[in-house]
Amino acid sequence: MPKFDETDKFILKYLQEDAKLTTKELAGRLNLSPTPVYERVKRMENEGVIKRYVALVDREKVGKDLMVLCNIRLKEHEQKAGAQFVKEIVELEEVVECLNISGDYDFQVKVVVEDMREYQSFIMNKLASLANIGSTQSIFVMGEIKNENVFLPELS
Give the pLDDT confidence of 69-98 residue by residue, as tens digits. 999 999 998 999 999 999 999 999 999 999
Instruction: Identify the band that residue 1 occupies on the pLDDT scale cut at 50, 70 and 90.
Output: confident
Per residue in 111-143, pLDDT (tens digit) is 999 999 999 999 999 999 999 999 999 999 999
Query: Could you tell me if 5 and 155 are in contact, meaning their C-beta atoms sit under 8 angstroms apart?
Result: yes
CA dist., res. 28 & res. 59, Å (int): 33
Which amino acid is residue 11, in one-letter code? I
pTM of the model: 0.86
Instruction: Identify the band that residue 2 occupies on the pLDDT scale cut at 50, 70 and 90.
Output: confident
CA dist., res. 102 & res. 140, Å (int): 20
Q: Would you call 73 helix, strand, or coil by DSSP?
A: strand
CA dist., res. 101 & res. 66, Å (int): 22
Task: Report the percent of the chain where pLDDT is more than 90.
Answer: 88
Please compute Rg for the chain using Cα positions: 20
Q: Would you call 45 helix, strand, or coil by DSSP?
A: helix
In eight-state DSSP terms, residue 146 is -
Catalogue all structural domains in the chain, each as residue range(s) with its CATH number: 6-46 (1.10.10.10), 59-140 (3.30.70.920)
Q: Is the predicted pLDDT of residue 102 greater than 90, yes or no?
A: yes
